[in-house]
Amino acid sequence: MGKWLSEQKWLAAGFSTATIWLGISSWASYRNTTEFIGTTQRLLHSYEVTRTLSTISLEMTIAESSRRGYVFIGNREELDRYQESVTQLYPSLQSLEGQLGEDPAQLEYFNQIKELIPKRLALLEKSIQRYRRTNQIDIEQRRITAESLQLRDRIQWLLAEMKDIEEIRLKQWLQHSQDLMQRRMSLEVWLTFSMFLVLLLGFLAVYRQVMKRQRLEAMEEKWSQQQELSHLKLNFFSMMSHEFRTPLSVVLGSSQLLLENHTQWPVEKRSHSLQRILSSAHVMKRLLSDILMFSRAEAGNLEFQPDWVELDSFCLNLVEDMRMADPLQDSIKFVSYCHGQRVYVDEKLLYSVLSNLLLNSVKYSAANQAVYLIVEVDRYDLLFHVKDQGMGIPAEDLPHLYEPFYRGRNVSTIAGTGLGLAVVKKCVDLHQGTVTVTSQEGQGTVFTIRLPAVVSHLNQHVSH
């Protein structure tokens, strides 16, 4: 019991350790996933900043190009393009400011851009207004253009610096993301392996416990069977001693009386005592025969040795033997519907089957009440009916009739071993036949034996 509890503690400790380890691994996986999501968001943010910077640079370039197209060529459509670019430039600046948040490095560049762009737009607007007034390119117009180009170069440099910073960050976050992916893959492989290992260890532990339990149950069942066998043996020996004591007492008593009085007793009284001795000897012989046959059948040593038997002669001899063994068995009546026929059966086994059934019918019937042995052939099947009008068998006992040592509930006061019908079933099975019973308590019983026997007439040539 202590060993069992110790193993249970080890098993519980192992599962607890595995659970804690899985919990730690799961937490690490969660942290890795959270970090990966954060890195992805940073990558997306850097991408959005880079795209906004490119948009601002593009809008500035379009504005400058449109202004030149209007001033130098006089194309009115270029003016419309210029105004559209300027209109879209300010929302882009606001979007960039919101994206930068509190990044000090980028805010420093952005604040310079935020100051320079309005100045440049003012110069572009001044150039357009002057062209409208003079409708020509003069020295002032060239000065404005030169100053605007200086501001453009400064703004483009600042935008390029900001894009370089974001591109470096993009590469860093991308590399970090790849590292996280590799770490996650390694972690998932480790988690899978850990889960497999835990499940395997759990399965082995459970399998071990199941096997131990099965061994314990097998030991308990074996012990229970041994106890039951011991109980059966005790009941068997007690029953056998009781069954043998009665005929032995008759033999001893009759022999002693005959020895002491054989000269004084008349012939009739001496014959009666000898008959009692003979009848008791036959009872003991039948008991020994049943025990021996049942033990051989249980051990698988009961042999089936069929031979040709003249059916009517066999049955008449059986009935005569039983009448000689006990005058009370004169009530047995033999009825045959297969005159002059021979059958291929095991004579010893068939003798045991019919004698046991007839003895039971006589035993459980009233004195001088007729018991019938009816023999008939149904095509190639041989049928034996043993019919009586005795006390019958209760319905609840019918399923257990052929169990060794089982006796009906209504015959507990009548001597018997409970082996007779078990022997009958074994012998019938060796013939590959069947035994059936119909009975009604208080009205009698009919046992029917059906054997698949080969049948031949006496006047036919018979060959083995």
Q: Where are the chain's structural domains?
A: 2-210, 302-457
3-state secondary structure of 433: coil
Q: Which residues contact 345 (CB under 8 A, 6 or more apart)?
A: 306, 307, 309, 382, 431, 451, 453
Residue 29 CA to residue 36 CA, distance in Å, equals 10
- The CATH number corresponding to 302-457 among 3.40.47.10, 3.30.565.10, 2.40.50.140, 3.10.620.30 equals 3.30.565.10
For the beta carbon of residue 108, count every other beta carbon within 10 angstroms: 12
pLDDT tens digits for range 298-332: 777 788 888 898 988 999 888 888 877 666 667 88
Q: Residue 414: how many CA atoms within 13 Å on its side-chain side?
A: 15
Question: Which pLDDT score is estimated for 69?
Answer: 78
For the beta carbon of residue 97, count every other beta carbon within 10 angstroms: 15
Q: Which regions in the chain score pLDDT beneath 70?
A: 1-15, 18, 21-22, 25, 229, 232-247, 250, 262, 279-280, 282-284, 286-290, 292-294, 297, 325-329, 412-413, 415-416, 453, 455-464
Instruction: Report how far Cα 135 is from the mean position of its chain's Cα atoms.
Output: 98
Question: Which pLDDT score is estimated for 103?
Answer: 79
Question: Which pLDDT score is estimated for 297?
Answer: 67
Question: Which pLDDT score is estimated for 463?
Answer: 30
The backbone torsions φ and ψ at residue 204, rounded to the nearest 5 degrees and listed phi first, read -65, -40
375: nearest Cα among 455, 270, 278: 455
Question: Which pLDDT score is estimated for 386?
Answer: 94
Question: Which pLDDT score is estimated for 245?
Answer: 65
